[in-house]
Structure 1
Amino acid sequence: MKRIRPASLAFDICNYIGLALLAALMVFPFWSVLVSSLTAPHLVHEGAIMLWPKQITGIAFETIFNTPNFIKVFQNTIFITVIGTFVSMVLSVMLGYPLSKKRLKGSQVMIFIVFFTMMFHGGIIPSYLIVKSLGLMNTLWSLIIPNAINAFNIIILISFFRTLPEELEDSARIDGCNDFGILFRIMVPVSMPILATLTLFYAVAQWNMFFQAVMYISNPNNFTLQVLLRQLLLVLTSDAIAASLSEDAPRIGVTVKLAMIVVSTVPILLVYPFLQKHFTKGMMLGSIKG
């Protein structure tokens, strides 16, 4: 049996304690928000710091869930997250793989164009005019198509594909695979770590879509969750509305704000455990070389 040296054991103990404290430090803010959102509004209004809910109530969540069109808006957000992430991943792979091949004529020029878009952007007004000219205004596709490809993610994909041995492609061609067969039968399966990582990036970006939704959509039936929560927050903090309600309205508004954070954060957090095992590996593999 291998003997563990006291110095090594002490280091491991200190390491675990330090990591546990760091994890607790990161988890505590969200835990505090969750606890406060389930606590009676008047206790939260007093500013008491609680580790466990007191006088548990769901009035804050009821206020959010009873908001008109909440179900429809939640469905819209899920739609743009799922479909938008799928479209983004397909287009990113279809662009990143060929650009990773230096033998492709013009690939360096195309990579420069992709990189150029990271440094310079056309601006809000040109983007708005393009979306309007395409007839995408007041549609959920206005939140998917203009944001379908992220230049930074393309650079990561290109770097990753260049780390894969060319022998994989050569053996696939010997077996009779064409370029599409090589991509979807060989390259995609062995690229799951980086694809899972970029899927998480795209999904989080789509879920948190706010500015584009405000700019392109005016129909309440096509709002996203972030826009609806913002409107609810404005209503609850409006002096005119609060004056017409009961005297507890401002206090309820405090817990509703916290419940909004939970509602907008928990669904996307549920996706992370399924991708976590690929996340770190994918980022490291995509950064080996440029």
Structure 2
Amino acid sequence: MVEIKTPEQIAKMRAAGLVVAAMHRACAAAAVPGATTKDLDEIAAKVLADHGAKPNFLGYGGFPGNICTSVNDVVVHGIPDRATVLRDGDVISIDAGAIVDGWHADAALTVFVGSGHAAELHELSRVTEESMWAGIAAVRKGNRLVDISAAIEGYIRRQPRPAAGKYGIVEEYGGHGIGSQMHMDPHLLNYVDKRRGRGPKLVPGFCIAIEPMVSLGTPRTHVLADEWTVKTDDGSWSSHWEHSVALTEAGPLVLTAPDGGREKLAGYGVTAAPDPLG
């Protein structure tokens, strides 16, 4: 079952999305050499409290953090702690979520710590982020879920191959429905699997978290003994980008982007829906 939201519910998700955007701004600014991932988690907690929002990660399945902090070859679900000290040259995915009046938003971005990163890491992040936006641009009335997957995979496959040999589109994890819960149907693959069919039709009120995860090597991953931290099998570094998106009668609204997605979607010839919060 796919939960279809009313315009009023989408407005509450937009409010949660703006809190997530504020969490990202604060955490990205603090992701400097010498900071611990626990420092970032405490900053995220303060932003949530300042906005009167609740965390949707903390306690989810026993997860101990307000955000996920995934460094270098950690793809997703990295646990914030005092022991992980950011170093110059690291790359970190900051995955954050918030709840406002019972409605959820969820987003992630890749941040470069310090300077001196290899060009292929910048390109990896760019390819991952742009594949997300290609997927968001496919959130249109009449399309189906598979059209989002095809847009993401198609964008990545069209890019020049990195020096490492290929981009690995992580297979075990993907996007998800979002709304009255953080993770809901449908599950969104970041590639096309013809065995799964075309998926549900996209209609106004459909909300989805789109989150490609791409490595500079294998698409395969494993989970560490903490039962959360996901690493690439070959130790290759990865990038992770995510936005929560609502389809409205007027088109897609990127709930977790400060401008609702207007600027980036324009580059794909798509007009973002008006912001219900003005």
Normalising by structure 2, what TM-score?
A: 0.27
Normalising by structure 1, what TM-score?
A: 0.26
Structure showing greater radius of gyration is 1
Q: Which has more strand, going by share of residues? A: 2
Which has the bigger relative contact order, CA under 8 A and spacing at least 6? 1
